[in-house]
Chain A
Amino acid sequence: MRTIRIGSGAGYSGDRIEPAIELAEKGDIQYLVFECLGERTVALAQQARMKNPEGGYDPLLEERMRAVLPLCAAKGIKIVTNMGAANPEAAARRTAEIAKSLGLSALKIAAIVGDDVLDACKDGDLPIMEFDGTIKQLGNRLLSANAYLGAEPMAEALTAGADIVITGRASDPALFLAPMIHAFGWAMDDWNLLGQGTVAGHLLECAGQITGGYFADPGYKDVPDLARLGFPIGEVGEDGSLVITKVAGSGGAVTARTCKEQLLYEVHDPRQYFQPDVVADFSQVTVEEIGPDRVRVSGGRGHQRTDTLKVSVGYVDSYIGEGQISYAGPGALARGRLALEIVRERLKLTGVETSELRFELVGVDSLHGAEVSTRANEPYEVRVRVAGRTENLREAVRIGNEVETLYTNGPAAGGGAWKSARDVVAVASVLLPRDLAKPQVRFVGA
């Protein structure tokens, strides 16, 4: 039976780079996938593209490509990535320049375009899923609308001979599904195979999260050598059989436990994991340790895909102002609480307009609020944190200022004040009729 090995070289845009080099060097892989596009990254990248028409792709594109291209070219490893962000064609052109400068002019590089569906969304004035409202009602706060594309255009690019495929918004598992469809010729209506392939993609897409990252809990779940965490490899057979493993000798661990945690990561109803290519069913999945750092994952299934694509809509939501200051030693908690009370009153006295405010003590109750947090012992130090949502930047700035002035106006011995004010680009979702997105493959010359 034919089998391919797919390496996962990044789980988010800022991820470590050496594990990808290690995969290319020692992973015996045929495909290397970089998943680098967070929920709102496309919206931020769209803003960058508006400032610079050749910008708007992943800021680490150059560093990652330079790190792996020579090895991948030498070994014939194909690269699939969503580092195109808001400008896949510019990312492909830049990659071609990098390849040329490395003496790798023969590489064929494809960009996938067509995820930008802003116009179609505006024409349809589609309703927003997360809150009452429509696309049009966002007015000039609307920044971007990008459909989660499926695996088909990426698979098509691979079949047309691409060595590197660069897409913008696509479903993360689809980045992995594309090489499977290309290598094995899976039919786009073989729902069970596409479902099991989605299991593989879903397990691999967060890279280190299945090899022991986001997992260690000393004394309960110990993981060796997290500083040299190896990234995962999916060994996929043409019948959909799947083994998750990693490079021998790298840090971390692939176990039934790491696989179970990642299988359910960001999953709601396990029987219905909505993807552009399939509605995957994880409910019958089983995991089995078959060797050191080798876990067989079976039983993924699928149902017919829906008629719509999920679209991520980026918009300017609000502004957030924030200030922090620390207190330590005897009475730190009482001084921290006093500081919060002072800022609460100051924001009222000076009429700062906010729609939402948080007052908290880092080290005491900042993560889960006063109700959940236990306060058995008084901490040695506390950090006051006040954050508020405002309509504009001017108001946001005033929140941090009211924390900073605690230096000379607040409780004794406050130190290390810090403040910030920023605009918030948020994302919401709409469902777009599938046929309104028209993805295309475009090759650039190296």
Chain B
Amino acid sequence: MKLREIAHSRTGDKGNISNISVIAYDTKHYPLLREQVTSERVKAHFAGVVEGDVVRYELPNLSALNFVMTQALGGGVTRSLALDAHGKSLSSALLDLDIEDNPSP
């Protein structure tokens, strides 16, 4: 299934850094997010967009992850050549990530 089925997401911007929250609709899916939505996968998913690092922060109280992606906004919101200079649409792209329902033990 797609990440979209179990989580919602919002993108924020500061300078050339984009952050994307990934929040489980249901607390029971938080472990799936932790296991499968890794920094490495997010970095790979945004090949060609994110040139820097992807750092993940965990918020168990909210069943949420927060990804901070550097060099992600075409040189910075205020100078980017991109149509979506803020990267507001990145959250929707991340929800297209494939998630295994029953990951093998």
Interface set of A (CB-CB < 8 Å, partner B): 39-40, 130, 214-215, 217, 220-221, 257, 260-270, 282-287, 299, 317-318, 320, 322, 356-358, 360, 362, 366-372, 385, 387-389, 424-429
B37 close to A (CB within 8 Å) = no
For A284, list chain B residues within 8 Å (CB).
61
B33 close to A (CB within 8 Å) = no
B103 close to A (CB within 8 Å) = no
A372 B64 Cβ-Cβ under 8 A: no
B47 A269 Cβ-Cβ under 8 A: no
- Count A-B pairs with CB separation below 8 Å: 122
A268 and B17 contact, Cβ closer than 8 Å, known pairs A285-B62, A299-B61: yes
B10 A130 Cβ-Cβ under 8 A: no
A425 B78 Cβ-Cβ under 8 A: yes
Interface set of B (CB-CB < 8 Å, partner A): 4, 8-10, 12-17, 19, 21, 23, 25, 45-49, 57, 59, 61-62, 64, 66, 68, 75-79, 81-84, 88-90, 93
Which of A265, A356, A385, A426 is the one whose CB lies under 8 Å from B21?
A: A265
A429 B15 Cβ-Cβ under 8 A: yes
CA distance A376 to B87 in the complex (A): 23
A372 and B81 contact, Cβ closer than 8 Å, known pairs A130-B16, A287-B62: no
A267 B12 Cβ-Cβ under 8 A: yes
For A366, list chain B residues within 8 Å (CB).
82-83
For A266, list chain B residues within 8 Å (CB).
12-14, 19
Q: What's the dominant secondary structure at chain A's contact region?
A: mixed
For B4, list chain A residues within 8 Å (CB).
220
For B90, list chain A residues within 8 Å (CB).
368
Point out which of A367, A427, A429 has the most chain B C-beta atoms below 10 A from its C-beta. Answer: A367
For B25, list chain A residues within 8 Å (CB).
257
For B57, list chain A residues within 8 Å (CB).
268-270
Which of B49, B64, B81 is the one whose CB lies under 8 Å from A388?
A: B81
CA distance A284 to B93 in the complex (A): 28
Which of B48, B62, B82 is the one whose CB lies under 8 Å from A371?
A: B48
CA distance A221 to B23 in the complex (A): 13
B8 A264 Cβ-Cβ under 8 A: no
User: Can you add 15 more A-B contacts, CB < 8 Å, to A265-B12, A268-B19?
Assistant: A221-B8, A257-B23, A261-B8, A264-B23, A265-B21, A266-B19, A268-B14, A285-B62, A358-B81, A367-B82, A371-B48, A371-B49, A372-B45, A372-B93, A388-B81
